[in-house]
Structure 1
Amino acid sequence: MPTNNAAILPTPKARPLKIQPSPIGTPTPTQILLKTSALAIQPIDALLQAHAFLPLSYPTILGVDVAGTVISVGDAVSRLKVGDRVIGTAGGMLNGNLSEGGFQEYVVLGENVAAKIPEAMGFERAVVLPCGLSCAASAFFRGEPYLSLRLPTTPATKPTGEVVLIWGGASSVGSNAIQLAVAAGYTVVTTASAKNFAYVNSLGAEVVVDYNAPTAIQDVAKALTGKNVVGALDCIGGPATKQTATAIKDVDGVRKVITSKPAEEDMIEGVEVHFVDGAHFGQDGVAEKIYGGFLGEALEKGSYVPAPEPLIVGHGLEKVQEGVDLVLKGMSARKAVVTL
């Protein structure tokens, strides 16, 4: 049996992460064991280390985005096999199982939140996807309190005229949300900084508003006027959640905002606001439909692209803290990646 090392957060707000040996987990019947070749760092990883805003068990291993090679599978696993190159969403930091945290050399994760990637696609390129994809897909396709939208298809469903608002389209979650919405037949109105307009348009957004403009809320509301709005996803958090809620408070359709960051203040009367995270995506059957049904084929055909672009921080677990620090400072249309 090989040895395993992990970047461990021993106590709340400890810094830097501690690199030390950690046991290799054994997959349950529905899980796989992955030899990690690349990992990506999400804002939630940086925020959890810096602020400890969720009640985690310590020591813990953060990290959600992983990519690598399957080295063993549980008895009930049927879609994936040993030797497959995959990406997946690791959920260890939230379920308390150290073997399922992403910042380590060997990770256990569910088959239903893992997908094969094309042979020509590098691990460092593909690993930008999982958490952003899982968060956006949870917000859009899971049932109440989320939006319960149609599932994406390959080829994409023809546009139906229904509109979804995505606040922060150049973020990791937003980059995936745009592509998922378009593949499901929805028209996307999004916000981004002016420098990222071309980027979000390339992913399929039809209308883009500069969220730095003093009239951003009014501009978004105008773009939604007279449209059949099916809901909104806030990918930024903080003041953006209330901005998103304000922009949809008078729309025709669903006045509901799903936010990828917990709301920090009172919202707008008449608008529902619900928090969603990607690490819990595997809790119902929607995950398998996305990872097992849609994603692999879409990646193979090139109709879905890994986005945003990876920013390679370096090689080895020792580089994870550097990546976390970069993310905490803020990143736009990029995602911090560490290779192993």
Structure 2
Amino acid sequence: MSTHVAATLATPRAPLTLTTVETPAPAADEVLVRVRAVAINPVDWIIQGASRIIYRWLRTPAVLGSDVAGEVVAVGEAVTRFRVGQRVFGLATGTDRARDPLREGAFQEYSTLLERLTAPTPDDLTDEQAAVFPLGLSTAACALFQPQHLGLRMPGGPASVVPPEVVVVWGGSTSVGMNAVQLARAAGYTVVSTASAENAEAVRALGAEAVVDHRSASAVADLVAAVDGRPVAGAVALGAGSTDACLDVLSQTGGTRLAMASTPVSLASLVGRRHLFPAMLPVFTRIGLATVRSTLRARRRGIRTGFVWGSSLRDDEMGPRLWGEVVPQMLADGSLRPAPAPLVVGEGLGAVQGGLDRQRAGVSAQKVVVRL
């Protein structure tokens, strides 16, 4: 039996520890990847610190992580797009319900990826750059293109409409936001967004027509002015407070669809506490009340809302199209660039826990990456 090393969550809320696990053979629709770089997302430290109440289905020991880049070392019998030795990057979904976190988690030397959620890494991208894509890109695509969210046409579809429709991205310098700006632009939409003054130019460089300061008291009015009477295809809300702000923008511009990809209250303070109980009670009460209030506001204004689950494309037709067609084509023509920029914080699986802590402490317009 072949084995490898994984950074494992042995029990809920425990620090990651290095353990030896069995190296799996890929299933028919999977590739086995030697992992060379992983990126870290807020959901990783949320799962580590609060899986008992948020990811109640997750059983430990588990391997966390969603963002993988490396090279293929084995392919399943039904795989046609990849070969052994090929560099790839993809979305690991091991922490999802009914998945296997020991086979499919990112934070280990070898991980299995579904062929339909994997793309070839171009020669001009490093593994560290490729690793910033998977979850942010997938979440942005779900928000923009899934019918239950904005339902926009995907890049490569019919020509853009005239007059051009506008997509509002609140939180354009986040990982999801930077990918949403690029995907929406590639699909032929005009994008207006928010970011801090420090990150505004980076968001414009990705294709946003206008970027306003989200900290400004006039941010909503500034976005409405940037829309300038054009039809609004919808909005993507990223970050605490973004939902209500987007509802205000949509109600003033005639938009009727809102995709929400963030909780209304940050979980960072809860995850950092020594004990979840009773600290979780006021936090989740605030989240629940804020969600109900926003939902009622949306209904009164005729705005359709929904929370985005970034890995849900695994089970719909959009996933294979995004990863098999759209992403390779956009990388080839230069309309998709790795964003945010990778912030390499260490090397080896022993550095992953430090990477989680660094991400939770806060980064701006960067993606925490560990090189393996």
Distance across 2 between alignment mates of 1:329 and 1:241: 23
Among residues 108, 111, 115, which one is paired with 2:115 in the alignment? Answer: 111
SS of structure 1 residue aligned to 2:28: coil
What amino acid is the match of 2:21?
Answer: S
Tell me the secondary structure at the aligned position of residue 251 of structure 2.
Answer: coil
- TM-score in terms of structure 2 length: 0.86
Deviation at 1:153, TM superposition (A): 2.9
Number of the residue aligned with 1:91: 93
Partner in structure 2 of residue 213 of structure 1? 216
Report the Cα offset of residue 75 of structure 1.
1.3
SS in structure 1 of the partner of residue 48 of structure 2: helix
Q: Deviations over 1:176-235 (max 9, x none)?
A: 100000000000010000111110000000011100101212222333352211111112
Is 2:13 the counterpart of 1:37?
A: no
Give the match for residue 283 of structure 2. Answer: none
Deviation at 1:166, TM superposition (A): 0.5
8 A Cα contact 1:181 1:187, kept in partner: yes
Distance 1:285 1:269, change over 3 A: closer
Distance in 2 (alpha carbons) for counterparts of 1:158 and 1:259 = 25
Letter in 2 for 1:269: A
Counting only pairs closer than 5 Å after superposition, residues 244-259 of structure 1 correspond to structure 2 as 244-253=246-255, 255-259=256-260
- 3-state DSSP of counterpart to 2:72: strand
CA–CA distance in structure 2, aligned partners of residues 67 and 196 of structure 1: 26
Of 171-180 and 53-62, deviating more is 53-62
Q: Distance in 1 between matches of 2:331 and 2:250?
A: 33
Asked if 1:298 corresponds to 2:341, the answer is no
Output the amino acid matched with 1:291: W
State the alpha-carbon separation in 2 of the partners of residues 159 and 269 from structure 1.
26
Unmatched 5+ residue regions in structure 2?
A: 265-286
Which secondary structure state, in structure 1, belongs to the residue aligned with residue 138 of structure 2?
Answer: helix
Asked if 1:200 is matched to 2:207, the reply is: no
Q: Which position in structure 1 is the counterpart of 2:298? A: 269
Question: Following TM superposition, where does structure 1 have runs of at least 4 consecutive aligned residues deviating by more than 6 angstroms?
Answer: none
Q: Determine the structure 1 residue equivalent to 2:19.
A: 20
Structure 2 Cα separation of the partners of residues 192 and 252 of structure 1: 23
* RMSD between superposed Cα atoms in Å: 1.8
Could you tell me how far 1:159 is from its partner in structure 2?
A: 7.0
Offset at residue 50 of structure 1 (A): 2.6
Aligned partner of 2:241 among 223, 239, 242: 239
Corresponding residue number in structure 2 for 1:127 = 131
Where do 5+ consecutive residues of structure 1 fail to align? none
SS of the aligned residue for 2:89 comes to: strand
* SS of equivalent residue, structure 1 residue 5: strand
The corresponding residue for 1:142 is: 146
Structure 1 residue 158, shift from structure 2 partner: 5.3
Alignment coverage as a number of residue pairs = 335
Q: Which residue of 2 aligns with 1:80?
A: 82
**Match of 2:55?**
54
Counterpart Cα distance in 2 of 1:13 and 1:314: 22
Partner of residue 175 from structure 2, selected from 157, 172, 176: 172
Deviation string for 1:2-49 (max 9, x for gaps)? 4211111222222x2121112222222111111100000011112222
How far apart, CA to CA, are the structure 1 residues paired with 2:159 and 2:134?
22
Which region of structure 1 is more displaced relative to structure 2, 165-174 or 53-62?
53-62
Contact 2:2 2:22 (C-alpha < 8 Å) held by counterparts: no
Q: Please give the per-residue CA displacement for 1:118-157, whole angstroms capped at 9, x wherever unaligned.
A: 12321011110111100001111122x2111111139x96
Structure-2 residue corresponding to 1:184: 187
Partner Cα distance (1:322, 1:338) in 2: 9
Larger Rg: 2
